């Protein structure tokens, strides 16, 4: 199979089902805590274990979070939604049914705008978002022929966000997934931790000839990183096209992505699929939401990523791209704005943007840190920017200063002082250095003066070297131009 | 001593006067139980030690001056209510080894009121049956005639009260399981409004229909116990947060001027025999007491049996999925694999009637049949509810027979489920509409008791009880005790 076939007149159609674990303290239908990583079955009470006679009681906080998501995506909030039972047998599903929402979900018909690679905006439809409980986990390691069941996760609240089949490729799918990821963290309804499974997705993938009816789809289950989503979809697209071009047919099935082998494999086919026998859960009353409840939730909505990006463009004069990068996380955006404020406001906005997106974000990624745990505070970074703005140091020296600050949390001034990195702005000193360079390189000087302009850079480099990089670049430029002139 | 012939109010007064202690009273009933239970098979578990401990605590409480009306009164619990540390079987082999780790709300409230737990009563398996013959522990015998059934599913509770092996017993009623056995053994039984009594800790059969209630010789006895178990419980989302009336105080509300509706459909078919005549005599009695009799019609009522036998099995098929041999209950020997574990544990643990209903329920919920069965049944259910509601705009109570016939022979209907199901033809309507209903004894067909049914509007328990009490103030059928148990 080969990547080229993707381009041969096939259209890729993708819809995502995202499971976002809601950041409630207790489970959706019981009072057990939801914290991750506890000893197996230590966070499962009788309700989570599905004991005879116990009953579910809905966690209001989960409802509030679902409504928050619905409002943030311009969705319709159902004034009446209904929990239904999805029936199937599995050892990690204690009751033999999962409580979910089926015909009447709490959130429906929303939209989300994503930025495409060509810079255009595409609106993706959100079909629905419904509340449901998570299942437990089966473990097969270290137990011989037996399997272990850990029900700590059973009953954890999930918001399942289902998109329309509006996505036209792996890159779009990832852009949408990242956007939802950003949004749920902005809303503080999900911690977005993909490794711990708090944010995961199933991808429904099909291909068709342009203009044709929708093709048969396959569902790739439980992919838990942005990179794997892209790889899994790309693999699946190529596989489907190869099957169709070879005269075969796509079988509707559930597939699993194996990241080690970078391939998808069938999990179960439609014939083996369960008939889930959904019906309204008689243990739970329909969820009826009053207008004032919805309005109370609306009042708690933060500035959303798109709104924030718009504001960053207009208030700080940033490019669309920079604004989107800076608003991709609420903490990063807040950090950026604090830096701008501390560095003197609008005039520092672009410089601050470059530094927050560049060296600061780079260091975070490299050291796998969060904004909150970075040692360079907003005040410290603003202090560094001030020294760039007042020409104490050049941008290049500033990078060196930043690394020292990152390592030990010192202020820019302290680092500049300790390392003697203060910029040379004394014209006489720079002229002396230039004269020495001219004297040491008569050949190059003659060539330059006879018209070889390209050698200008050579003289910049040599003079910088002579001043240990501390010469003010702008001044150096001016002086060089004048002194090198024939 | 004839303590077992006294009413709850009389026993309470006797305890208060210190005519006898709670320990003496309890021992009296324990002696009767050990004498008669081997024949009746009405108790599955006799909790003698617990009963005496409860009784000692009750006596201590009385000595300390903290006793309430029910302190020291013995009670039998249907074995569907979870009792902390005591085996709770639900009449099934599946739960033969199940010791509940918690108290149901009904048990908790009766314990808190100082009552004494005598034991757990036999019942149709998972409350599915109308004769008590589906119990894993064998049939219960009718105290009036040991060759007859006591009705079901609360057959054990009915028999212990009729034979005065307990002054009072709890029951549950999904399609008539309190009222029909009450009628067949000549006692009073009330099924409250759906949501009046918490279902927490009551092992579910059909969640939207199940309701706990009280079985006792008289309406006055029922009133005192219902007072204690009724009321909102935050652990049951379907329980209703609404004040509980003072049933005992309102018990003597006169019948004069009460409008009683004669439900036309109840009197149309199969009431030619003695049951019909006895029920008609009750109408005359109420007329004599000053009630106004009005004929009303609920045209969809004849559809209640088929409706019920779609809704109840649908819910039970899902409710009973948790019995999978994994965490509690019966587990087959040496399962080969997961599927074998499920199939054999369930195959061995459940009896024929339970399997029949699980299969029926699975069928009516399955893809392609849901609309034709489950959805249609829900529509009929709404229709029946609306017709009852309309009837209650014209009358205060409805009246009709409880059971088409008196107690039938053991084994007579076990191989004919349809005939068995028709036993509930008069009782099911109240469950489908969630209405409170009660059966009281109204005479004898030969040597076998016959009951009459009163149905009230939602939360009309008080009116039901006072109407029943008025009838019992001028009759003595509720005081009759089978000769063998006097």
A359-376 b/e (C-beta count within 10 Å ≥ 16 → b) = bbbebbeeeeeebeebeb
Phi first, then psi: what are they for A236, rounded to 5°? -65, -40
Contacts of A1-8 spanning 24+ positions with Cβ under 8 A? A1/A238, A1/A239, A1/A242, A2/A238, A3/A234, A3/A238, A5/A238, A5/A241, A5/A242, A5/A245, A6/A234, A6/A237, A6/A238, A6/A241, A8/A241, A8/A245
A149–B238 C-beta distance less than 8 A: no
Distance (Å, rounded) from C-alpha A42 to C-alpha A389? 56
pLDDT at residue B148 is higher than 70: yes
Residue of A nearest to B126 (CA): A52
Q: How far is A288 from chain B (nearest CA, A)?
A: 13
Partners of A58 on chain B (C-beta within 8 Å) are 237
Q: How far is A101 from chain B (nearest CA, A)?
A: 16
pLDDT at residue A384 is higher than 60: yes
Of residues A336, A375, A338, the one with CA closest to residue A353: A336
Distance (Å, rounded) from C-alpha A27 to C-alpha A112? 28
Beta bridge partners of B171: B213
Name the CA radius of gyration of chain A, rounded.
29
Domain limits, chain B: 3-260+394-485
B15-52 b/e (C-beta count within 10 Å ≥ 16 → b) = beeeebbbbbbbbbbbebbeebbeebbbbbbbbeebbb
Residue pair A409/A420 in contact (Cβ under 8 Å)? The answer is no
Does A285 lie at the interface with B, CB-CB under 8 angstroms? yes
Instruction: Report, as an integer, the average pLDDT of B132-156.
Output: 98
Phi first, then psi: what are they for B43, rounded to 5°? -100, 135
Q: Are strands B397-401 and B259-263 parallel, antiparallel or unpaired?
A: parallel
User: pLDDT tens for residues B345-399?
Assistant: 999 999 999 999 999 999 999 999 999 999 999 999 999 999 999 999 999 999 9
CA B157 to chain centre: 8
User: pLDDT tens for residues A58-72?
Assistant: 999 999 999 999 999
B95–A58 C-beta distance less than 8 A: no
Q: Which residue in A31, A50, A52 has the most chain B C-beta atoms within 10 A of its own C-beta, making it the best mutation to test that interface?
A: A52
Going by pLDDT thresholds of 50, 70 and 90, the confidence category of residue B185 is very high
Task: Bin B290: left if φ > 0, else alpha if -120 < ψ < 50, else beta.
Answer: left
Structure tokens at B464: 């039901």
Distance (Å, rounded) from C-alpha A137 to C-alpha A280? 25
Partners of A284 on chain B (C-beta within 8 Å) are 237-238
Kind and range of the H or E run holding A297: helix A291-299
Residue pair B130/B88 in contact (Cβ under 8 Å)? The answer is no
- How confident is the model at residue A388, as a pLDDT? 87
Phi first, then psi: what are they for B72, rounded to 5°? 90, -5
Q: Are strands A121-133 and A107-115 parallel, antiparallel or unpaired?
A: antiparallel
pLDDT at residue A7 is higher than 70: no
Active site residues per annotation of B: 78, 153, 177
Q: To the nearest whole number, what is the mean pLDDT of chain B?
A: 97
Residues in Cβ contact with A331 at an 8 Å cutoff, skipping those fewer than 6 apart: A370, A371, A372
Going by pLDDT thresholds of 50, 70 and 90, the confidence category of residue B131 is very high
A56–B200 C-beta distance less than 8 A: no
B-facing residues of A in 72-131 (CB < 8 A) are: 85, 87, 89, 91, 94-97
pLDDT at residue A5 is higher than 50: no
Q: To the nearest whole number, what is the mean pLDDT of chain A?
A: 90
Distance (Å, rounded) from C-alpha B132 to C-alpha B410? 9
Q: Would you mind telling me the total number of residues written for chain B in this entry?
A: 486
Residue of B nearest to A95 (CA): B322
Instruction: Report, as an integer, the average pLDDT of B161-183.
Output: 98
Q: How far is B301 from chain A (nearest CA, A)?
A: 22
Q: In what order do the strands lie in the sheet with A279-280?
A: A97-101, A83-87, A279-280
Place of tokens 């179960």: A268
Q: Look up the ipTM and state it.
A: 0.96
A291-299 and A60-72 helices, crossing angle to 10°: 70
Domain architecture of chain A: domains with CATH: 3-296 (no CATH), 305-419 (no CATH), 427-484 (1.10.10)
- How confident is the model at residue A424, as a pLDDT? 74
Name the CA radius of gyration of chain B, rounded.
21
Q: How far is A5 from chain B (nearest CA, A)?
A: 39
The helix/strand/coil state of A471 is strand
Distance (Å, rounded) from C-alpha B147 to C-alpha B127? 21
- How confident is the model at residue A2, as a pLDDT? 39
Structure tokens at B450: 């016959």
Residues in Cβ contact with A287 at an 8 Å cutoff, skipping those fewer than 6 apart: A58, A63, A78, A80, A81, A82, A83, A106
The helix/strand/coil state of B128 is coil
Residue of B nearest to A45 (CA): B101
Does A145 lie at the interface with B, CB-CB under 8 angstroms? no
Distance (Å, rounded) from C-alpha A354 to C-alpha B472? 90
Give the rounded percent of residues in chain A with a pLDDT score beyond 70. Answer: 97
- How confident is the model at residue A22, as a pLDDT? 98
Does A284 lie at the interface with B, CB-CB under 8 angstroms? yes
Q: How far is A93 from chain B (nearest CA, A)?
A: 9
CA distances from A379 to A301, A319, A406 (A): 28, 24, 13
Torsion sign (Cα): B161, B165, B167, B169? negative
Torsion sign (Cα): A474, A475, A479, A482? positive
Instruction: Report, as an integer, the average pLDDT of B263-291.
Output: 91
Torsion sign (Cα): B189, B191, B196, B201? positive
Four-CA torsion A355, A360, A361, A367, nearest 10 degrees: 160
Beta bridge partners of A107: A77, A129
The helix/strand/coil state of A406 is helix
Cross-chain CB nearest to B237 (options A56, A85, A87) = A56
Cross-chain CB nearest to A282 (options B315, B320, B323) = B315
B100–A55 C-beta distance less than 8 A: no
The helix/strand/coil state of A98 is strand
Range list of β-strands (E), B236-380 = 259-263, 292-296
Structure tokens at B176: 């008539």
Of residues B89, B117, B83, B76, the one with CA closest to residue B102: B83
pLDDT at residue A17 is higher than 90: yes
Does A272 lie at the interface with B, CB-CB under 8 angstroms? no
Residue of B nearest to A58 (CA): B237
Q: In what order do the strands lie in the sheet with A218-223?
A: A76-77, A107-115, A121-133, A157-163, A10-21, A199-209, A218-223, A253-258, A263-269
B101–A46 C-beta distance less than 8 A: yes
Instruction: Report, as an integer, the average pLDDT of A333-357.
Output: 90
Q: Check residues A422 and A433 and name the one with the higher pLDDT.
A: A433
pLDDT at residue B284 is higher than 70: yes
Q: Check residues A444 and B167 and name the one with the higher pLDDT.
A: B167
Distance (Å, rounded) from C-alpha B441 to C-alpha B429? 20
The answer to whether domain B3-260+394-485 has CATH 3.90.1300.10 is yes
The helix/strand/coil state of A121 is strand
- How confident is the model at residue B379, as a pLDDT? 98
B206–A94 C-beta distance less than 8 A: no
Residue B381's Cβ-count burial label (10 Å; 0-12, 13-18, 19+) is: buried
Cross-chain CB nearest to A51 (options B318, B328, B342) = B328
pLDDT at residue B244 is higher than 70: yes
- How confident is the model at residue A368, as a pLDDT? 85
Going by pLDDT thresholds of 50, 70 and 90, the confidence category of residue A226 is very high
Going by pLDDT thresholds of 50, 70 and 90, the confidence category of residue A3 is very low
Instruction: Report, as an integer, the average pLDDT of A207-212.
Output: 92
Q: What angle do CA B250, B256, B258 make, to 5 degrees?
A: 80
Instruction: Report, as an integer, the average pLDDT of A97-103.
Output: 97
Residue B138: CB atoms within 10 A of its CB come to 12
Distance (Å, rounded) from C-alpha B92 to C-alpha B102? 19
Of residues B425, B407, B377, B159, the one with CA closest to residue B271: B425
Does B238 lie at the interface with A, CB-CB under 8 angstroms? yes
Residue pair A123/A311 in contact (Cβ under 8 Å)? The answer is no
A277–B366 C-beta distance less than 8 A: yes
Q: Check whether the bond before B144 is cis (ω within 30° of 0).
A: no
Cross-chain CB nearest to A275 (options B203, B367, B374) = B367
- How confident is the model at residue B31, as a pLDDT? 98
Least confident of A133-147, A237-251, B1-15, B324-338: A133-147
pLDDT at residue A486 is higher than 80: no
Residue A60: CB atoms within 10 A of its CB come to 11
User: pLDDT tens for residues A270-314?
Assistant: 556 689 999 999 999 999 999 999 999 999 999 999 999 999 999
Instruction: Report, as an integer, the average pLDDT of A434-445.
Output: 86
Instruction: Report, as an integer, the average pLDDT of B317-329.
Output: 96
The helix/strand/coil state of A393 is coil
Structure tokens at A71: 């409002």
Q: Check residues A145 and A189 and name the one with the higher pLDDT.
A: A189
- B169: Cα within 13 Å, side-chain hemisphere: 38
Q: Which residue in B89, B99, B201, B337 has the most chain A C-beta atoms within 10 A of its own C-beta, making it the best mutation to test that interface?
A: B201
Distance (Å, rounded) from C-alpha A484 to C-alpha B5? 125
pLDDT at residue A269 is higher than 80: no
Partners of B367 on chain A (C-beta within 8 Å) are 275, 277
Residue B463's Cβ-count burial label (10 Å; 0-12, 13-18, 19+) is: buried
The helix/strand/coil state of A204 is strand
Partners of A277 on chain B (C-beta within 8 Å) are 317-318, 362, 365-367, 370
Of residues B386, B399, B390, B461, the one with CA closest to residue B426: B399
- How confident is the model at residue A4, as a pLDDT? 41
Of residues B450, B441, B371, B377, the one with CA closest to residue B408: B450
């Amino acid at each position: 199979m080969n990547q080229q076939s993707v381009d041969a007149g096939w259209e890729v159609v993708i819809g995502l089902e995202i499971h976002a674990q809601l950041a409630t303290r207790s489970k959706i239908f019981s009072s057990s805590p939801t914290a991750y990583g506890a000893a197996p079955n230590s966070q499962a009470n009788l309700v989570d274990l599905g004991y005879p006679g116990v009953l579910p009681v809905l966690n209001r906080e989960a409802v509030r979070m679902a409504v928050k998501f619905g409002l943030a995506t311009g969705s319709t909030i159902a004034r009446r939604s209904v929990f239904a039972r999805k029936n199937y047998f599995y050892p990690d599903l204690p009751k033999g049914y999962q409580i979910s929402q089926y015909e009447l979900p709490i959130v429906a018909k929303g939209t989300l705008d994503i930025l495409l690679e060509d810079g255009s905006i595409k609106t993706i439809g959100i079909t629905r978002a419904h509340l449901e409980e998570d299942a437990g986990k089966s473990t097969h390691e270290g137990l011989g022929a037996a399997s272990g069941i850990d029900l700590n996760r059973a009953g954890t609240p999930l918001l399942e966000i289902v998109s329309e089949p509006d996505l036209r490729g792996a890159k779009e799918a990832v852009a949408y997934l990242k956007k939802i990821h950003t949004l749920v963290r902005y809303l503080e309804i999900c911690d977005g931790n993909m490794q711990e499974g708090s944010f995961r997705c199933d991808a429904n993938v099909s291909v068709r000839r342009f203009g044709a009816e929708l093709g048969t789809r396959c569902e790739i289950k439980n992919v838990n990183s942005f990179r794997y989503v892209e790889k899994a979809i790309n693999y699946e697209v190529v596989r489907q096209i190869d099957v169709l071009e070879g005269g075969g047919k796509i079988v509707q099935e559930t597939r699993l992505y194996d990241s080690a082998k970078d391939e998808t494999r069938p999990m179960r086919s439609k014939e083996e699929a369960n008939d889930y026998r959904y019906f309204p859960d008689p243990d739970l009353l329909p969820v009826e939401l009053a207008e004032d409840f919805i309005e109370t939730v609306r009042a708690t909505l933060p500035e959303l990523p798109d709104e924030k990006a718009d504001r960053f463009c207009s208030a700080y004069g940033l490019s669309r791209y920079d604004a989107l990068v800076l608003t991709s996380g609420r903490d990063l955006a807040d950090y950026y704005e604090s830096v701008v404020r501390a560095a003197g406001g609008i005039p520092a906005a672009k410089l601050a943007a470059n530094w927050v997106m560049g060296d600061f974000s780079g260091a975070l990624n490299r050291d796998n840190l969060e904004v909150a745990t970075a040692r360079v505070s907003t005040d410290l970074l603003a202090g560094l920017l001030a020294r760039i703005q007042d020409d104490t140091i050049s941008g290049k020296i500033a990078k060196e200063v930043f690394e020292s600050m990152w390592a030990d949390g010192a202020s820019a001034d302290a680092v500049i002082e300790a390392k003697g990195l203060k910029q040379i702005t004394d014209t006489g000193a720079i002229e002396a250095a230039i004269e020495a360079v001219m004297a040491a390189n008569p050949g190059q000087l003659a060539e330059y003066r006879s018209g070889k302009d390209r050698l200008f850079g050579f003289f910049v480099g040599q003079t910088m070297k002579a001043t240990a990089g501390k010469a003010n670049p702008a001044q150096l430029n001016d002086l060089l131009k004048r002194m090198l002139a024939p | 001593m004839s303590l077992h012939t006294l009413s709850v109010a009389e026993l309470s007064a006797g305890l208060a006067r210190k005519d006898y202690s709670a320990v003496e009273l309890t021992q009296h009933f324990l002696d009767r139980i050990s004498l008669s239970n081997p024949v009746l098979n009405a108790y599955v578990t006799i909790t003698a030690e617990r009963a005496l401990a409860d009784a000692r605590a009750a006596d201590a409480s009385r000595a300390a001056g903290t006793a309430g009306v029910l302190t020291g009164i013995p009670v039998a619990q249907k074995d569907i209510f979870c009792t902390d540390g005591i085996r709770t079987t639900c009449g099934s082999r599946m739960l033969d080894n199940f010791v509940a780790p918690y108290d149901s709300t009904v048990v908790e409230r009766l314990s808190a009121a100082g009552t004494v737990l005598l034991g757990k009563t036999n019942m149709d398996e998972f409350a599915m049956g109308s004769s008590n013959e589906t119990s894993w522990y064998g049939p219960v015998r009718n105290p009036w005639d040991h060759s007859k059934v006591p009705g079901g599913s609360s057959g054990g509770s009915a028999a212990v009260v009729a034979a005065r092996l307990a002054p009072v017993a709890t029951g549950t009623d999904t399609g008539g399981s309190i009222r029909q056995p009450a009628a067949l053994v000549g006692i009073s039984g009330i099924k409250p409004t759906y949501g009046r009594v918490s279902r927490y800790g009551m092992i579910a059969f059909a969640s939207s229909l199940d309701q706990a209630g009280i079985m006792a010789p008289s309406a006055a006895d029922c009133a005192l116990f219902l007072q204690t178990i009724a009321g909102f419980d935050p652990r049951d989302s379907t329980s209703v947060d609404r004040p509980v009336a003072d049933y005992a105080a309102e018990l003597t509300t006169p019948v004069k001027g009460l409008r009683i509706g004669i439900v036309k459909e109840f009197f149309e078919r199969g009431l030619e025999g003695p049951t019909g005549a006895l029920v008609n005599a009750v109408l005359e009695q109420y007329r004599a007491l000053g009630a106004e009799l009005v004929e009303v019609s609920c045209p969809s009522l004849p559809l209640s049996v088929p409706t019920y036998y779609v809704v109840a099995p649908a819910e039970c098929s899902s409710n009973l999925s948790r019995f999978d041999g994994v965490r509690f209950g019966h587990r087959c020997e040496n399962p080969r694999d997961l599927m074998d574990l499920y199939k054999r544990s369930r195959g061995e643990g459940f009896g024929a009637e339970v399997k029949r209903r699980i299969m029926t329920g699975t069928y009516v919920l399955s893809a392609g049949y849901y609309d034709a069965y489950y959805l249609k049944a829900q529509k009929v259910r709404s229709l029946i509810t609306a017709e009852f509601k309309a009837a209650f705009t014209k009358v205060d109570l409805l009246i009709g027979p409880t059971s088409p016939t008196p107690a039938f022979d053991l084994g007579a209907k076990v191989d004919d489920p349809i005939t068995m199901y028709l036993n509930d033809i008069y009782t099911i309507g109240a469950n489908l509409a969630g209405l409170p209903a009660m059966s009281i004894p109204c005479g004898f067909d030969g040597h076998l008791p016959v009951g009459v049914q009163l149905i009230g509007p939602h939360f009309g328990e008080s009116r039901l009880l006072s109407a029943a009490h008025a009838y019992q103030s001028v009759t003595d059928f509720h005081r009759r005790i089978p000769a063998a148990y006097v």
